[in-house]
Structures are given as structure tokens and as C-alpha cells.
């Protein structure tokens, strides 16, 4: 059980780091051409975050939401967006809470889900 909590905590931390990198990219400050050192330093966090997202989608999210991912849903956000689009049930409420309180506030656009 503790490994699940640690995994989710690390996954969330990586999400915050990746969104910071994305914010810098959107501002035109994080490109290999103009800032190669910072770009290369950020890249492992992006890759590890993506891998953790895929692993979470096919393991923890299956357990948490009692639902298998649909075809083409490789990231947890894909699943959350589907639940929110259906706009009903306990999965919707959990997805809405996660998006509103954990993900959207760190997304540079404010709308991760």
C-alpha cells in the first residue's frame, strides 16, 4: 500500500516539474536552440513522467477507477477527460476533483483535463 502512495506522490511531483517545463516552452524560453543545457536537464523528467503516466494508466488507474482503459487511452489524462465528458457518476466526480484540484492549477493553460 505504501508503494502506491509513494508512486502517486512521485507521479504528482513529476507532473509539476513537467508543467513548469511546458510553461517555459510556451513562453519561448525552453528550446534546445536557445537554451540547450536547461532543455537537456528537463528532458529526463519529461520522459520519466511520461513512462510513469503510462504505467499508472494501465495499473493504478485501473484499480482506482475499476475500469480498463479504452483503445487509444494511454495516459491517465485521457481517462479523466472521458469521465468528465460523460458528466455523471462517481468516476466523473473523482475525475473532476483530480482535474480541478491537482492538475489544472499547475497546467500553464489552466485546463489540463
- C-alpha to C-alpha distance for 32 and 22, rounded to whole angstroms: 13
49 lies in a domain?
yes
Q: What is the pLDDT of residue 37?
A: 96
- Is 97 within the bounds of a domain? yes
Confidence of residue 109 (pLDDT cuts 50, 70, 90): very high
| Average model confidence (pLDDT) across the chain | 96
Tell me the pLDDT tens digit for each residue of 17-63.
999 999 999 999 999 999 999 999 999 999 999 999 999 999 999 99
Decide: 106 and 99 in contact? Cβ < 8 Å.
no
The answer to the question of residue 10 being in a domain is yes
Q: Is residue 111 part of a domain?
A: no
> By percentage, how much of the chain surpasses pLDDT 70?
100
What's the domain range around 20?
2-103
Per-residue pLDDT at 61: 97
Tell me, yes or no, if the pTM score tops 0.95. no
Residues contacting residue 99 through CB under 8 Å, at least 6 positions apart: 80, 84, 112, 113
Say if CB 42 and CB 30 are below 8 A apart.
yes
Q: Name the domain count of the chain.
A: 1
Residue 1 is predicted with a pLDDT of 85
113: in domain: no
Residue at 109 is within a domain: no
Amino acid at each position: 500500500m505504501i508503494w502506491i502512495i509513494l508512486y502517486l506522490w512521485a507521479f504528482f511531483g513529476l507532473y509539476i516539474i513537467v508543467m513548469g517545463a511546458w510553461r517555459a516552452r510556451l513562453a519561448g524560453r525552453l528550446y534546445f536552440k536557445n537554451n540547450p543545457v536547461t532543455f537537456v536537464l528537463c528532458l529526463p523528467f519529461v520522459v520519466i513522467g511520461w513512462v510513469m503516466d503510462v504505467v499508472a494508466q494501465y495499473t493504478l488507474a485501473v484499480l482506482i477507477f475499476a475500469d480498463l482503459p479504452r483503445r487509444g487511452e494511454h495516459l491517465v489524462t485521457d481517462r479523466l477527460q472521458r469521465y468528465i465528458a460523460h458528466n455523471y457518476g462517481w468516476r466523473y466526480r473523482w475525475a473532476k476533483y483530480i482535474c480541478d484540484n491537482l492538475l489544472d492549477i499547475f497546467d500553464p493553460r489552466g485546463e489540463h483535463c
